[in-house]
């Protein structure tokens, strides 16, 4: 799903194990109690669960051969992947947990529900829905990681765009797009029409956050930024300098809102303090970055193929 994590030190070990591993057969309707290393059949292929060799409480989840998620069973506030730390920092910059404990969050893309666990710990009264295409994966994750129960956290099995279109207007404070088919987000989740659905579902002052991946030419990222900027009055990008300069294959965190983003020194310091320091681009820099790029729109055949794209790995 998130291809900058192929640099994780366990990556080669996972690939070697996967080549010799045999998928685990689990009877339909059976939920495993706690994580166990192995390769598991899921609705969209297979996934592999491996214990983190550097953390006795840590587990890594790989889906269809691509690194997806990391979970620390002892500490839900620990996020191993930098882009998730950036998203958490951005949300907390807008709404401090002590002043706004009851956020309403929609996660498009589930994986191991790492961010949902984080926000449940940071905002104990939050109400969250995670949309996951793969029903068997969702069931495994529930059993492996002892996720909070409804209404605090609900996993809704379905395709992200279809679910988003079905939601009641102004019912979410935060919508996080973190869906990948292989290395890229399905196009149906990157268009102006989809962003308008997101905008409709967000409450006034709400925040849309997208994990946007691209190659060093940054063509896809520029189009993603241009399309988000076409819907939302205010935008932001968070990424490490090498990605912003087009020097590597990786991810940017993009955000859109109708409420201005505060110039928050604490957010800037927090982003610079991680293992991979990140910079912030404000709305002016985002629009300059996206200038001249195509604003994506739906095509007649786009929405249905998105389900097939997701089935290949999202």
Q: Which domains are delineated in the chain? A: 3-72 (no CATH), 82-297 (3.40.50.150)
DSSP string, 61-80: EEETTEEEEEEETT-TT---
DSSP designation for 32: -
pLDDT at 305 over 50: no
Q: How high is the pLDDT of residue 83?
A: 95
pLDDT at 212 over 60: yes
Q: What percent of the chain has pLDDT over 90?
A: 74
pLDDT level of residue 77 (50, 70, 90 thresholds) = very high
Q: What is the largest CA-CA distance in the chain?
A: 54
Evaluate whether 195 touches 231 at the Cβ level (below 8 Å): yes
State how far the Cα of 72 lies from the Cα of 83, in Å rounded to an integer: 16
State how far the Cα of 210 lies from the Cα of 112, in Å rounded to an integer: 17
State how far the Cα of 213 lies from the Cα of 128, in Å rounded to an integer: 24
Q: How high is the pLDDT of residue 304?
A: 56
Q: How high is the pLDDT of residue 31?
A: 54
Tens of pLDDT, residue by residue over 117-165, are 999 999 999 999 999 999 999 999 999 998 999 999 999 999 999 999 9
pLDDT at 204 over 90: yes
From residue 258, give the alpha-carbon distance in Å to each of 25, 37, 245, 284. 48, 44, 27, 15
The residue-averaged pLDDT of 195-214 equals 97
DSSP string, 117-139: HHHHHHSTT-EEEEEES-HHHHH
State how far the Cα of 5 lies from the Cα of 69, in Å rounded to an integer: 9
Q: How high is the pLDDT of residue 300?
A: 85
State how far the Cα of 296 lies from the Cα of 225, in Å rounded to an integer: 10
Q: How high is the pLDDT of residue 20?
A: 52
- CB-facing half-sphere around the CA of 9: CA atoms within 13 A: 6
Q: How high is the pLDDT of residue 248?
A: 85
pLDDT at 88 over 70: yes
Q: How high is the pLDDT of residue 24?
A: 61
Higher pLDDT, 17 or 116: 116
Beta-carbon contacts of 214 under 8 Å, excluding residues fewer than 6 positions away, are 184, 220, 221, 224, 249, 250, 251, 252
Tens of pLDDT, residue by residue over 49-65, are 999 999 999 999 999 98
pLDDT at 207 over 70: yes
Nearest alpha-carbon partner for 224 in 182, 195, 183: 195
pLDDT level of residue 25 (50, 70, 90 thresholds) = low
Nearest alpha-carbon partner for 71 in 18, 14, 42, 113: 113
* pTM summary value: 0.88
Nearest alpha-carbon partner for 88 in 178, 184, 5, 2: 178
Q: How high is the pLDDT of residue 32?
A: 62
Higher pLDDT, 306 or 240: 240
DSSP string, 173-231: EEEEE---BTTB--GGGSSHHHHHHHHHHEEEEEEEEEEEEE-TT-HHHHHHHHHHHHH
Higher pLDDT, 305 or 285: 285
């Amino acid at each position: 799903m998130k291809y900058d994590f192929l640099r994780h030190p366990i990556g080669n070990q996972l690939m070697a194990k996967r080549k010799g591993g045999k998928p685990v057969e689990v009877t339909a309707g059976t939920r495993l109690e706690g994580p166990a290393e192995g390769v598991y059949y899921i609705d969209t292929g297979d996934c592999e669960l491996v214990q983190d060799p550097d953390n006795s409480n840590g587990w890594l989840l790989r889906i269809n051969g691509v690194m997806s998620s990391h979970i620390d069973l002892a500490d839900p506030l620990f996020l191993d992947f930098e882009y998730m730390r950036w998203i958490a920092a951005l949300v907390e910059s807008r709404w401090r947990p002590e002043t706004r404990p009851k956020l309403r969050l929609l996660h498009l893309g589930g994986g191991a529900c790492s961010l949902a666990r984080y926000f449940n710990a940071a905002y104990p009264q939050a109400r969250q829905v995670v949309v996951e295409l793969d029903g068997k994966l969702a069931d495994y994750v529930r059993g492996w990681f002892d996720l909070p129960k409804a209404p605090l956290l609900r996993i809704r099995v379905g395709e992200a765009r279809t679910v988003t279109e079905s939601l009641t207007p102004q019912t979410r404070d935060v919508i996080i797009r973190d869906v990948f088919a292989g290395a890229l987000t399905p196009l149906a989740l990157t268009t102006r029409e989809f962003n308008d659905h997101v905008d409709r579902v967000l409450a006034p002052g709400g925040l849309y956050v997208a994990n946007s991946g691209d190659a060093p030419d940054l063509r896809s990222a520029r189009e993603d930024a241009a399309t988000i900027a076409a819907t939302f009055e205010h935008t932001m990008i968070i990424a490490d300098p090498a990605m912003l300069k087009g020097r590597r294959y990786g991810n940017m965190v993009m955000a859109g809102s109708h409420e201005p983003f505060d110039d928050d020194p604490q957010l800037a310091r927090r982003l610079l303090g991680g293992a991979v320091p990140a910079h912030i681009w404000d709305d002016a820099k985002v629009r300059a970055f996206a200038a001249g790029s195509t604003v994506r729109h739906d095509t007649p055949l786009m929405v249905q193929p998105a389900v097939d794209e997701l089935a290949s790995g999202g």
